[in-house]
């Protein structure tokens, strides 16, 4: 991690409080903050009246939204639900923030881009999502921008892994413990990002008063195949016993999925670095830290 930076003390509403990212965010909320955790089944982000009433009753100064429907392929067959959660829900939070004078921090995704660049995506590059997931997340960004709220921060990130939730690292470790051969896509490139590092980046941006859209991901880039190979190497260096002998690189066409992914989704973090003075840790170092110290027992 970059070096611990906590959120400012105050009245904080953490939405999607039981999710993977929210667990990392929780660790950076000061002990003297007055915090309320909002999540299903008691808090439904798609219910406008419930969102407005719940947040009005609490009266937060800061709303951190970590809630999302992140099943990329599932969103293809449930786009209406994805749009309600990822699109309409953030708009309701912005409306609530406007009503109680709160600041809203929202997490978005690299999948709002079409992947047709060959250099890192900038915050003001044209969007063009290829999937229902990407469209729903872009709808959430636009709902916040169009809400009339001025004090908002959107942090786009990519390829998240961390304790407390399903992710690519845990899937690979499970498969590598069971199989000798794996086939993994090698023509999609991005930046794996550790939830602890993203949570700290959010805290840094909040602390320095940042507004608008920022990108954050761990530094460096790789394909899913490269990520899988690194997982195997780092896991073995940590003493994990794996059955895997060969990880074959394949194309996206060799492994068709319901949702189309961007071929290149590396995010530029230059704006984040200029705003905070902090450099994102390398993704491989973050992976090593996760495997040695941060992993939940998910196998």
Looking at the annotation, which residues are catalytic?
133
Q: Report residue 163 CA to chain centroid gap.
A: 13
Q: Give the span between the Cα atoms of 55 and 244, in whole angstroms.
A: 49
Q: Give the span between the Cα atoms of 244 and 238, in whole angstroms.
A: 15
Q: Give the span between the Cα atoms of 20 and 41, in whole angstroms.
A: 17
In DSSP notation, 163-232 reads TTS--HHHHHHHHHHH-SEEEEE-S-EE--EEHHHHHHHHHHHHHTT--EEEE---BS-EEHHHHHHHHH
Half-sphere exposure of 288 (CA within 13 A, CB side): 8
* Residue 56 DSSP SS3: helix
Q: Residues 138, 112: contact at Cβ < 8 Å?
A: yes
Q: Residues 68, 81: contact at Cβ < 8 Å?
A: no
Q: Residues 214, 280: contact at Cβ < 8 Å?
A: no
Distance, first Cα to last Cα, the chain: 24
Question: Could you tell me which residues are beta bridge partners of residue 64?
Answer: 14, 105
Q: Give the span between the Cα atoms of 149 and 226, in whole angstroms.
A: 41
């Amino acid at each position: 991690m970059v070096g611990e930076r906590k959120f400012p003390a105050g009245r904080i509403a953490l939405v999607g409080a039981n999710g993977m990212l929210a667990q990392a965010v929780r660790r950076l909320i000061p002990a003297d903050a007055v915090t309320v955790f909002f999540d299903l089944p008691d808090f439904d982000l798609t219910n406008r009246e419930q969102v407005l009433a719940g947040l009005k009753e609490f009266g937060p100064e800061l709303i951190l939204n970590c809630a999302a429907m992140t099943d990329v392929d599932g969103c293809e067959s449930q786009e209406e639900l994805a749009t309600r959660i990822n699109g309409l829900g953030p708009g309701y939070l912005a409306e609530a923030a406007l009503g109680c004078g709160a600041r809203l921090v929202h997490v978005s995704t690299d999948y709002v881009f079409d992947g047709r660049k060959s250099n890192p995506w900038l915050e003001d590059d044209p969007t063009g999502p290829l999937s229902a997931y990407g469209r729903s997340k872009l709808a959430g960004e636009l709902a916040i921008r169009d809400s009339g709220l001025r004090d908002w921060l959107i942090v786009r990130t990519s390829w998240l892994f961390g304790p407390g939730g399903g992710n690519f690292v845990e899937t690979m470790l499970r498969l590598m413990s069971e199989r000798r051969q794996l086939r993994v896509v090698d023509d999609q490139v991005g930046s794996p990002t550790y939830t602890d590092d993203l949570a700290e980046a959010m805290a840094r941006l909040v602390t320095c008063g940042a507004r608008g859209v920022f990108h954050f991901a761990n530094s460096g880039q790789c394909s899913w195949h490269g990520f899988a190979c690194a997982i195997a190497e780092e896991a073995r260096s940590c003493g994990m016993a794996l059955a895997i002998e060969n990880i074959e690189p394949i194309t996206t066409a060799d492994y068709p999925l319901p949702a189309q992914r961007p071929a290149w989704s590396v995010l530029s973090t230059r704006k984040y670095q200029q705003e905070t003075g902090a450099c994102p840790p390398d993704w491989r170092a973050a992976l090593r830290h996760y495997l040695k110290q941060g992993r939940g027992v998910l196998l």
